[in-house]
Amino acid sequence: MKEKIGFIGLGLMGHGIAKNIIEKGWPLAVLAHRKRDAIDDLKQRGATEVTSPRALADACDVVLLCVTGSPQVEAVIEGENGLASAGKPLLIIDCSTAEPASTIRLAASLAPRGITLIDAPLSRTPKDAWEGTLDVMVGGADDAVARARPILEAFAGRIVPTGPVGTGHTMKLLNNFLSMGYAALYSEALMIGAKAGLTPQVFDSVIQNGRMDCAFYQTFRRYVIERDPNAHKFTIANAHKDVTYLAGFAQALGVANPVGAAVRNSFALAVGAGHGEDYVPMLSDIVASMNGTSLTK
């Protein structure tokens, strides 16, 4: 008999993940949220709804989290009526992008209470979440990862164990440093090209199918060239949060990360200019505008 699954965080990624969990035959309960579209859709597919994290823990064996970051993870686990307050054994799979130090501390605090926390952050896009083809990085004890694997397989095309708890979130920060670094580089290069009279179409004709092409560039160019606003539905505010986590992690390690600081500042400027809710490929327009040019002339 399949374990009962709970889900908190039905945003752009969470909705698709939860849909796949139901479609693969897992009993699913979801936490109520003010945004009703995803919850109503999942209820139509067979999910049940509860009104607090504690009620979710009471009803489930395993709970997946797909929330914004560490403050939200800590609140739903340790806050008033949080998951831990149910006082029962539980496996928590944290699919958020969180701070490794927070994840490690939480796991150590929960273990004596019979609650196992593993980190399983995600890579790829909401489209991949809907199609069940996400990449998942998993940090945790072997037995906990083995227990989680059949659930992860419901929505993942690739599952990569990374080591002890916390290493999944560490790898996710590095992954997002690379991807957001690409976004910052593309945006700056496109701006300089536009300023010098090279159109984005010329830029694209050189980069696409060349040695500098990659899957991330393909989603980025769909916005720049085809003006598809949904090419990569990941907000600039979330990108800024992730590279800020990386900066704190590097500082805790006592290492210099000057490239990381430059990438973070690119997103910080965009957030400061009021573009936090824009999606990452739109950074290209923001950087161009800040420099007195446009990619759509």
- pLDDT number for residue 90: 98
CA atoms of 21 and 121, how far apart (whole Å): 16
Q: Note down pLDDT in tens along the chain; length 297 residues.
A: 799 999 999 998 999 999 999 999 999 999 987 779 999 999 999 999 999 999 999 999 999 999 999 999 999 999 999 999 999 999 999 999 999 999 999 999 999 999 999 999 999 999 999 999 999 999 999 999 999 999 999 999 999 999 999 999 999 999 999 999 999 999 999 999 999 999 999 999 999 999 999 999 999 999 999 999 999 999 999 999 999 999 999 999 999 999 999 999 999 999 999 999 999 999 999 999 999 999 998
pTM more than 0.75: yes
Length in residues, the chain = 297
- pLDDT number for residue 33: 79
Whether the Cβ atoms of residue 200 and residue 194 lie closer than 8 Å to each other = yes
- pLDDT number for residue 297: 80
Sign of CA dihedral 282, 288, 292, 296: negative
Tokens 């504690």 identify what position? 54
Helix boundaries (H) for the chain:
14-23, 36-44, 53-59, 70-78, 100-110, 126-131, 142-152, 167-195, 200-207, 215-224, 236-253, 258-272, 283-290
- pLDDT number for residue 283: 98
Query: How many angstroms from the chain centroid is the CA of residue 208?
Result: 26
Distance of CA 241 to CAs 88, 98, 245, 246, Å?
Answer: 32, 9, 6, 9
